[in-house]
């Protein structure tokens, strides 16, 4: 379960930013997670309480914003939504694409 290490990494980011801001706790955290990021939301939610225990995020509200994956066909230039890495272009059937959205995993904001 790599979601526990992801959650612990998020805690480390929050701890670092809280120290910079000289605050003892964070009220809310906003996360952006792409649908092709490889992060299982249910597993992250399961691991979250263990990772945030005794940290600045222990009482924080966690808000997850899912980012839908989008790609641009390298052959015909068509922009389209994708659900799997190997989806083909719905216009021309090409496998060659530039995935420009949906692999994100970032801390968008911290509310103190």
- Contacting residues for 108 by C-beta, under 8 A, at least 6 apart: 30, 31, 32, 65
CA–CA gap between residue 70 and residue 82 (Å, rounded): 6
pTM given for the model: 0.87
Mean of the per-residue pLDDT values of the chain: 96
* Whole-number Å distance between alpha carbons of 54 and 96: 46
pLDDT tens digit string along 29-77? 999 999 999 999 999 999 999 999 999 999 999 999 999 999 999 999 9
Q: How far apart are CA 5 and CA 7, in angstroms?
A: 5
Q: Where are the domains of the chain?
A: 3-111
- The class level of CATH for 3-111 reads alpha beta
Residue pair 42/85 in contact by the 8 Å Cβ criterion: no
């Amino acid at each position: 379960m790599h979601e526990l290490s992801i959650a612990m990494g998020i805690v480390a980011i929050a701890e670092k930013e809280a120290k910079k801001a000289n605050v003892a706790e964070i009220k809310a955290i906003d996360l952006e997670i792409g649908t092709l990021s490889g992060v299982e939301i249910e597993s992250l939610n399961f691991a979250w309480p263990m990772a945030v225990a005794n940290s600045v995020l222990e009482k924080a509200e966690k808000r997850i914003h899912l980012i839908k994956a989008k790609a641009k066909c390298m052959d015909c230039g068509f922009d389209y939504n994708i659900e799997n890495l190997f989806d083909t272009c719905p216009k021309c059937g090409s496998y060659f694409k530039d995935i420009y959205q949906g692999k994100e995993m970032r801390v968008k904001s911290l509310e103190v």
